[in-house]
Amino acid sequence: MPPVIPLAATDVHRPWQQARHGRRAQALYPAIEPHASGFLEVAGGHTLYWETCGNPAGTPVLFLHGGPGGGCTASSRRWFDPQRYRIVLFDQRGCGRSRPLAGIAENTTEHLIEDIEVLRRHCGIERWLLFGGSWGATLALAYGQRHPARVRAMILRGVFAGTQPELDWLYREGASKLFPEAWEHFRQFIPAPLHDDLIAAYHARLNCGDAPEELRAARAWCAWEDALTTLLPQPGEHGDAQQLALARIECHYFRQRSFLDEGQLLAQAHLLRGIPAVIVQGRYDLVTPPATAWQLARAWPQADLQIAPDAGHASSEPGNLRRLLLACDRYADGQ
């Protein structure tokens, strides 16, 4: 397997560390606007928002947002050099500007894989780079294993394979030992007799038909996730509609183990062989602990696993951000 490279904060000498104009990878690229956008009708009554930015003749890259249930933002465009990349973004089913918002009917991993193919054909792209963190990494892996010929390379962060042990860490016992006060708040929303299966209990409340109760459940769900996301505490920035979409869709997917067979993404890692990748993993990631990224890299010879010793889960943390930007510059010319 390739070496694990804990890139130090002072390590600024990699040949792909600087973009063409000598820019050091310390901050996102400047804000840009789409040059094309629209909506795609897909199977199951969903309509997806999509947009493209940057250089129409550049290296195609697809940004896969997290969650599931998150959505793209203006900052999602800014990971990539707009002079060198053709940047494609879309809001997954039920997310962001896609409709119906928070819709979970006909919303599975299989649907999302097909949606990506619909979008690829719509954009006239043969092969593209995949960029995704957390759930975005899950979806990138699932799509790449299904359509490896369509993938130039991957840049992944905070790998989540959708396994039962990963869900148990988050919603049974594991992270709860490190954040007992946040865990108690999360668990107290659910009556004690239902504590054995908090995902199922939250799913019932997030889909109960009582709008105020659904929103209270969404806030409690998101507060637990926010507590774990960064190494140093940062306030969450979700509006009510965003919180409901994120909580309802996450709970929907997690109740079904992301609509994947147990261990599927790790067992089928051999299907990715030949696809180059950078995996950025925060050492203190409490949402997606490093063990999964380590297992994936061991089974994927072309994956360059980089452990950030000063980061948790969020892409915005300096250790993760720097490595992700360097990886984007590394693959900008289709390398």
> Which are the catalytic amino acids?
134, 285, 313
> Peptide bond preceding 68: is omega within 30 degrees of 0, i.e. cis?
yes
Taking the C-alpha atoms of residue 176 and residue 324, their distance in angstroms, rounded to an integer, is 29
> Peptide bond preceding 235: is omega within 30 degrees of 0, i.e. cis?
no
Taking the C-alpha atoms of residue 149 and residue 144, their distance in angstroms, rounded to an integer, is 8
Taking the C-alpha atoms of residue 178 and residue 173, their distance in angstroms, rounded to an integer, is 10
27-30, Cβ contacts within 8 angstroms, sequence gap of 24 or more: 27/321, 27/325, 28/75, 28/78, 28/79, 28/321, 28/325, 29/78, 29/79, 29/80, 29/81, 29/82, 30/78
Please state the separation of Cα 335 from the chain's center in Å.
23
